[in-house]
């Protein structure tokens, strides 16, 4: 059986490397007599590369070759990946993708096409890099109704936050290092503004709750506004700030979903997840909490997940796996402001004693936090739990303070 790879970048070249490195065991596990890489589609040339001779420029070579039964899409972006993947599925080829943007945008359509053509469309690598997560959700946790998902879903931002917090490295230097290590997206804005994590929570929520979650409905904030002052206050509170993607089942026709920096208590399994590592917590009604942890980005970890899907496609030749979700209706994702939360607030106050009194009268049970070397006019506090809309409305009535930072506190 022949395979083609579309896109010979970090992940695509990793796929070729893993296929070659573990060739014997991969073939054995695929239940096929042979699995061979036949083409690599890329517009670039790769002189001196071990696979130089496999590189082609015309997608139709793959499409029209009936001996190619599995196509790996590691191009990234929606176009032309969507058109290429659709054509392959229609031509009866299974497709394995690591492209979270494509799956988050067109996952439902492509799964439907795969269904109609009795082939498979698998994308384990699109969430959590090398961490097995989609297959465990759809198979090992199938007995559960999943109530909630929360995860550190972006390796680049977790790497940056860890370097800033532990090594006092500047944001720019940490981002540069993440790019050099091949973790960051082509345009790192997708990482630091939470867009990449948003795509991943869309895929997870679609799979866990059974309906496509579109990114445009998911409230998303990145890490660019996190200040070291906040990190210090939260340290004194007993926690850390992480970029968290989360989604919650509310009813068969309503879920919540968002990506925001969030305060995590030190006792949480998510608090100790550092560097490029990702972790995904799934809360099921039979299993309780289960956490999946591992390398969320990088060449070989991501290739590991892609190749596992290739093996699965090879094993299921001529058979469609039961995997996927339905389309969703409007208003499926509720307004994040209607969700309950507690908040951490850092603010400026000219008259601190007066401000503290006012805060306590507006937020009953507010707790004030401390940090070393705080300026005279700075204060920070945590609120109790209420809807975010209610908490923000109350905050707006406090004219004696100027909020500088507001971060949600989680209970994971």
Q: Which residues participate in catalysis according to the annotation?
A: 200
Q: What is the DSSP letter of 323?
A: -
- Residues 40-79 contacting ligand HSE, CB under 6 A: none
Closer residue to ligand HSE, CB minimum distance, 68 or 134: 134
Coil vs helix vs strand at 163: helix
- Strand 386-387 vs strand 340-348: parallel, antiparallel, or unpaired? antiparallel
Binding-site size, ligand HSE (CB under 6 A)? 11
CB–CB of 314/31 below 8 Å?
A: yes
Return the residue of 185, 230, 232, 309 that touches ligand HSE, per CB under 6 A.
185
Please count the helices (runs of H) and the strands (runs of E) in the chain: 14, 17
**Residue 229: other Cβ atoms inside 10 A:** 17
> Is 184 near ligand HSE (CB under 6 A)?
yes
Closer residue to ligand HSE, CB minimum distance, 305 or 380: 305
CB of 158 to ligand HSE, least distance (A): 8
- Residues 122-151 contacting ligand HSE, CB under 6 A: 129
Which stretch in 52-60, 182-190, 241-249, 344-352 sits in contact with ligand HSE by CB under 6 A?
182-190
> What contacts 98, CB < 8 A, 6 or more positions away?
11, 73, 74, 123, 125, 126, 302, 305, 306
> Is 294 near ligand HSE (CB under 6 A)?
no
What string marks each residue from 153 to 172 as x (binds ligand HSE by CB under 6 A) or -? -xxx----------------
> What contacts 232, CB < 8 A, 6 or more positions away?
371, 372
- Residues 209-228 contacting ligand HSE, CB under 6 A: none
Closer residue to ligand HSE, CB minimum distance, 275 or 327: 275
Closer residue to ligand HSE, CB minimum distance, 174 or 342: 174
Return the residue of 73, 124, 148, 191 that touches ligand HSE, per CB under 6 A.
191
CB of 304 to ligand HSE, least distance (A): 13
CA dihedral of residues 177, 182, 186, 188 (deg, nearest 10): -40
What string marks each residue from 297 to 336 as x (binds ligand HSE by CB under 6 A) or -? x---------------------------------------
> What contacts 209, CB < 8 A, 6 or more positions away?
146, 247, 249, 255, 325
Cα separations (Å) of 72 from 12, 92, 98, 388? Answer: 8, 14, 8, 42
Closer residue to ligand HSE, CB minimum distance, 105 or 154: 154
CA distance 116 to 86: 12
Q: What angle do CA 28, 32, 38 make, to 5 degrees?
A: 105
Footprint on this chain of ligand HSE (rule: CB under 6 A): 129, 154-156, 183-185, 191, 196, 296-297
């Amino acid at each position: 059986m022949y395979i083609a790879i579309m896109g010979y970048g970090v992940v695509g070249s990793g796929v070729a490397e893993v296929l070659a490195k573990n060739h014997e065991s991969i073939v054995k596990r695929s239940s096929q007599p042979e699995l061979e890489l036949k083409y690599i589609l890329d517009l670039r040339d790769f002189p001196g590369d071990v696979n130089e001779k496999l590189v082609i420029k015309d997608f139709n070579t793959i499409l029209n070759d009936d001996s190619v039964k599995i196509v790996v899409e590691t191009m990234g972006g929606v176009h032309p990946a969507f058109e290429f993947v659709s054509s392959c599925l229609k031509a009866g080829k299974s497709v394995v993708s690591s492209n979270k943007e494509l799956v988050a945008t067109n996952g439902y359509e492509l799964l439907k096409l795969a269904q109609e053509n009795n082939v498979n469309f698998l994308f384990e690598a699109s969430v959590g890099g090398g961490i097995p997560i989609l297959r465990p959700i759809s198979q090992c946790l199938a007995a559960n109704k999943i109530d909630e998902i929360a995860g550190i879903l972006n390796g680049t931002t977790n790497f940056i936050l860890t370097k800033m917090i532990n090594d006092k490295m500047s944001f720019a230097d940490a981002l540069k290092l993440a790019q050099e290590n091949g973790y960051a997206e082509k345009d790192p804005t997708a990482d630091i503004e939470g867009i990449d994590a948003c795509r991943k929570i869309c895929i997870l929520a679609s799979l866990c709750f059974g309906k496509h979650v579109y990114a445009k409905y998911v409230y998303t904030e990145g890490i660019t506004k996190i200040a070291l002052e906040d990190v210090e206050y939260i340290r004194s509170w007993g926690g850390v700030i992480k970029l968290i993607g989360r989604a919650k089942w509310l009813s068969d026709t309503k879920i919540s979903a968002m990506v925001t920096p969030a305060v995590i208590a030190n006792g949480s399994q998510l608090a100790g997840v550092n560097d490029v590592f990702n972790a995904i917590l799934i809360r099921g009604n039979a299993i309780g909490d289960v956490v999946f942890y591992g390398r969320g980005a990088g060449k070989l970890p991501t290739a590991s997940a892609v190749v596992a899907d290739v093996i699965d496609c090879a094993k299921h030749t001529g058979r469609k796996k039961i995997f996927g979700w339905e389309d969703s209706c409007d208003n499926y994702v509720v307004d994040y402001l209607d969700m309950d939360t507690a908040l951490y607030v850092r603010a400026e106050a000219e008259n601190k004693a007066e401000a503290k009194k006012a805060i306590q009268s507006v937020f009953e049970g507010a707790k004030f936090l401390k940090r070393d070397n705080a300026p005279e006019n700075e204060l920070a506090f945590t609120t109790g739990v209420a809807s975010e809309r209610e908490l923000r409305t109350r905050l707006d009535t406090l004219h004696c303070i100027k909020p500088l930072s507001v971060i949600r506190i989680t209970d994971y």
